[in-house]
Copies of this chain bind each other. A is one copy, B any other.
């Protein structure tokens, strides 16, 4: 079970190539195990021994592939964060209208959340806090998130310029959208709310559209 990602060394291929492959798979197996364990126990309560056990290897082996606990943590997150960001960027570009672009931003995350709860659990909870406590860890990761938000801001700026939504500060608008997104993720992870995710997503999107819509509502 633990060796899911391990590529069996092909007998025919000699030396370098298969070695490199094996090392890469081993790295990824460790990262996968790390995500599982960190998601369940948090950074502080996780021992390197736990990660090793989850990967089905000994502690010393972990240190053949990674320099430190912190590095494992960061790489485990980065791997996934890059995926989400890339997918989100692509889907937003594909979308034609501002409504579809905002929906793409949110749907990408909700879908990814279903497939990779572990990643979101770590990111949504712990990592964010570490950033708030001013630790310098994970500059790239922070950038990825900022980029996602910036892209939304861009969508809003364009829509506002075209007069498709009401005039507003695009950064504030993007902040609002990402706040709602975060809430949606948290609720799903907690299974706090019995409302199905899909319904919650539609409600959230509806609120966003209303909040941005061009015509003011009568009081």
Binding site for B on A (CB under 8 A): 41-42, 44-45, 121, 124-126, 128-129, 132-133, 168-169, 171-172, 175-176, 178-180, 182-184, 186-187, 189-190, 193, 195, 200, 203-204, 206-211, 213-219
Docked Cα-Cα span, A124 to B133, in Å, equals 11
Name the residue of chain B whose CB is nearest to the CB of A146.
B192
Name the residue of chain B whose CB is nearest to the CB of A178.
B183
Q: Let me know if B175 and A132 touch, CB within 8 A.
A: no
**What are the residues of chain B within 8 A of A182 when measuring CB–CB?**
179, 182-183
Q: Let me know if A183 and B187 touch, CB within 8 A.
A: no
Docked Cα-Cα span, A169 to B187, in Å, equals 15
Q: How many copies does the complex hold?
A: 2
17 CB contacts below 8 A, A to B, read A121-B132, A125-B128, A125-B129, A125-B132, A126-B129, A129-B129, A132-B186, A169-B195, A171-B195, A175-B187, A176-B180, A176-B183, A182-B182, A207-B207, A208-B211, A210-B217, A213-B219
Docked Cα-Cα span, A20 to B16, in Å, equals 75
